[in-house]
Chains A and B, each alone.
Chain A
Amino acid sequence: MDVPSSPRNLRSILSSLTEARPGERAFATQEVSSVLMPNGQALAISEAEKVIAHLRKVTKTYDKQGRSLSIDLDIRQGDFLFITGISGAGKSTLLKMLYGEEKPTSGEVVVDGTRVNKLRGHGLSHLRRRIGVVFQDYKLLPRRTVAENVAFALQAQNFHKAEIRRRLLPTLKIVGLEEKAEHFPEQLSGGEQQRVAIARAIVHTPVLLLADEPTGNLDAGNTWSVLEILQQLNEMGVTIVVTTHDDTIVQAFAKRVVTFNENQLVELDVR
């Protein structure tokens, strides 16, 4: 059974990643009053409630009859936000608009101060360096080892070799896979593969982690361990948005829940 390291260990591992060197991003923890931005300037966070992404008066037409989603949403620093709804309700579309894969029909999508609406090419790639994305089907590269898969994200973003080495092991420890660094994805269970995908999505310390049905292919045990990792990351200050149609995990983990009610995104009360 692949159970990750205990939360206490994680906490110390994570804190090693939160110590940013000049010019690097660190995980922004709620206890820390400032984070280092990519340009090296310290940005003061006056309150934990800072909005780091929003969709304002967004509509997205999804069929030829002109039916469309309508979304108004603020994502705040430190959120562990669940987007629920039946499949096809628009959960994935919402995430795709956040990482620029789909364009809204109208309205405004802003992530970390960047207007995403019409972003393309270089601008889009720069936005995605501040976001991590996890998918239901993991999207790992089959001919690369776990370590290579995780390092691939850093290589693609021009990280120096030394920095890649510095980040690789702590990140693998977070997801409890340091022992399997040299394994290939096909040698791992589904849960382990998803944890590799999470490692790849957080290794560059993004301001926002998006997970699209991350447990859709997993059994109950693996679902639980993957969500525990996400929860621990959230406790360290990572803002996380998860889509799911599994009510059990929403009840167990969600701090905030939104759902699609007849194409309209609404917020639900969380007890």
Chain B
Amino acid sequence: MVFVQQVVTRADFILKETLTGLRRGGWMNWAAVSTLVILLFLFGFGTRLSWQLQNAVAALGSQLEVSVYLTPEASGKKLLQTAEKVEGVQSVTLQTKKDALSQLQKEMGVKQDLTKALEGNPLVDSLRVKVSTPEQVNTVAEQLKAIPGVAQTRYGGEAANRLTQIDKTVRWIGLGVTGLLGFTAVAVITTTIRLVVLSRRKEIEVMQLVGAAPIWIYMPFLLEGLTLGLVAAMIAWGGLHYTDQFLAQQIQVNVPFVVLEVTEEQANLLPWILVGSGVGLGSLGSLLAVSKYLR
């Protein structure tokens, strides 16, 4: 409680010192903020892209069905039981070529018997295999394909695989770029704050001599780094917001079948991630700057 009271009593002193420090930082503040903005923008962009890809994968992955097309000679009834025995298979339904033809007829809106026009039924028996978990779709499909009498298998997992691959790549590049830029950002912030610390060496010396508590001496510098991080996060968030709108428009116009979406929670989470990273990096930078003066 005493600490809280002290914070309140000293709030205006510390805020004034922080503002003075920011003024003295001058153009170095912009160097620090712009580095941070670029970092946070790319980080936010990568994170959102990764989310979008993951959501797309999730949408595809929920289709747990493998379609198995048999050779013309094979009989679905016989293969049904073999298919059921494959591990990971939940259920199998049979669609005979007769059913398939009548369905096709219905879909096409043809009234007369197609077999006559086509000289027999050109379709094959097929099995609709439901798989228990998304991870098993791949292996189940391969095992089914190996069964004699199976011509080919189809499932949504192929596209999902490719998207997961892209997502992985995005994340690795993102990690590399943000790691490198994070290092640069912290270095720039540290240099900025250290310049301010140097310009205020005299104040710090006097404060130490008259018995100011170390936390009050260094609080303005911490707040300064924190402010830089906060400002950068807000600018980056604004930038992300507008690029998102622009890209969504472009996709709508040019490739309307591509659906890249984030959930509402993810959309709400992103600004907090940016603010958290910005404030964290800003504080880290100023801590490094004053660490050698903290005894």
> Which residue from chain B places its CB closest to the CB of A197 in the assembled complex?
B206
Q: Which of A120, A141, A156, A160 contacts B211 (CB 8 A)?
A: A156
Whether B206 lies near A152 (C-beta < 8 A) is yes
Known: A120-B295, A156-B216. A125 touches B206 (CB 8 A): no
Q: Which of A120, A121, A141, A160 contacts B206 (CB 8 A)?
A: A141
CB-based A-B contact count at 8 angstroms: 55
CA–CA, A157 and B212, complex, Å:
5
> Which residue from chain B places its CB closest to the CB of A154 in the assembled complex?
B210
Whether B206 lies near A128 (C-beta < 8 A) is no
Q: Which of B6, B216, B295 contacts A121 (CB 8 A)?
A: B295
Q: Which of A120, A142, A152 contacts B210 (CB 8 A)?
A: A152
Whether B205 lies near A139 (C-beta < 8 A) is yes
> Which residue from chain A places its CB closest to the CB of B217 in the assembled complex?
A156
**Contacts of A96-150 to chain B: CB distance below 8 A:** 99, 120-122, 124-131, 133, 139, 141-142
Taking the closest CB of chain A, its distance from the CB of B98, in whole angstroms, is 88
Most buried by A among B202, B209, B210: B210
Whether B214 lies near A121 (C-beta < 8 A) is yes
Contacts of A39 in B (CB 8 A): none
Contacts of A128 in B (CB 8 A): 208-211
> Which residue from chain B places its CB closest to the CB of A120 in the assembled complex?
B295
Taking the closest CB of chain B, its distance from the CB of A64, in whole angstroms, is 24
> Which residue from chain B places its CB closest to the CB of A139 in the assembled complex?
B206
Taking the closest CB of chain B, its distance from the CB of A182, in whole angstroms, is 18
Known: A121-B214, A122-B213. A156 touches B207 (CB 8 A): yes
Whether, in the assembled complex, A83 has its beta carbon less than 8 Å from a beta carbon of chain B, the answer is: no
> Which residue from chain A places its CB closest to the CB of B12 in the assembled complex?
A161
Contacts of B203 in A (CB 8 A): 141
Whether, in the assembled complex, B291 has its beta carbon less than 8 Å from a beta carbon of chain A, the answer is: no
Whether, in the assembled complex, A204 has its beta carbon less than 8 Å from a beta carbon of chain B, the answer is: yes
CA–CA, A156 and B213, complex, Å:
8
CA–CA, A204 and B209, complex, Å:
13
Whether A158 lies near B10 (C-beta < 8 A) is yes
Q: Which of B9, B202, B210, B216 contacts A160 (CB 8 A)?
A: B9
**Contacts of B4-32 to chain A: CB distance below 8 A:** 6, 9-10, 13
Contacts of A124 in B (CB 8 A): 211
**Contacts of A207-234 to chain B: CB distance below 8 A:** none
Chain B at the A interface: mostly helix, strand, loop or mixed?
Answer: helix
CA–CA, A125 and B214, complex, Å:
8
Whether B9 lies near A153 (C-beta < 8 A) is no
Number of residues on chain B facing chain A (CB within 8 A): 18
Most buried by A among B202, B208, B211: B211
CA–CA, A205 and B184, complex, Å:
48
Whether A127 lies near B211 (C-beta < 8 A) is yes
Taking the closest CB of chain A, its distance from the CB of B202, in whole angstroms, is 6
Taking the closest CB of chain A, its distance from the CB of B243, in whole angstroms, is 43
Whether, in the assembled complex, A155 has its beta carbon less than 8 Å from a beta carbon of chain B, the answer is: yes
- Please encode chain B, from 250 to 266, with 1 for each CB lying within 8 Å of some chain A CB and 0 for all others: 00000000000000000
> Which residue from chain A places its CB closest to the CB of B17 in the assembled complex?
A155
Whether B212 lies near A125 (C-beta < 8 A) is yes
Q: Which of A121, A158, A204 contacts B9 (CB 8 A)?
A: A158
Whether B206 lies near A157 (C-beta < 8 A) is no
CA–CA, A2 and B206, complex, Å:
26
Whether B213 lies near A125 (C-beta < 8 A) is yes
> Which residue from chain B places its CB closest to the CB of A149 in the assembled complex?
B206
Contacts of A121 in B (CB 8 A): 214, 295
Taking the closest CB of chain B, its distance from the CB of A113, in whole angstroms, is 16
Contacts of A120 in B (CB 8 A): 295
CA–CA, A78 and B53, complex, Å:
79
Contacts of A200 in B (CB 8 A): 210
New A-B contacts (20) at CB < 8 Å, excluding given A152-B206, A158-B10:
A99-B209, A120-B295, A125-B208, A128-B209, A128-B210, A128-B211, A133-B209, A139-B205, A141-B202, A141-B203, A153-B206, A155-B10, A156-B212, A156-B216, A157-B210, A157-B212, A158-B6, A158-B213, A158-B216, A200-B210
A-B contact pairs, 7 of them (CB 8 A): A120-B295, A125-B208, A128-B210, A141-B206, A152-B206, A155-B13, A156-B207
Which residues of A come within 8 Å of B, CB atoms? 99, 120-122, 124-131, 133, 139, 141-142, 152-153, 155-158, 160, 200, 204
Please list the 3 inter-chain residue pairs (A to B) with the smallest Cβ-Cβ separation, ordered nearest first: A128-B211, A156-B212, A129-B211
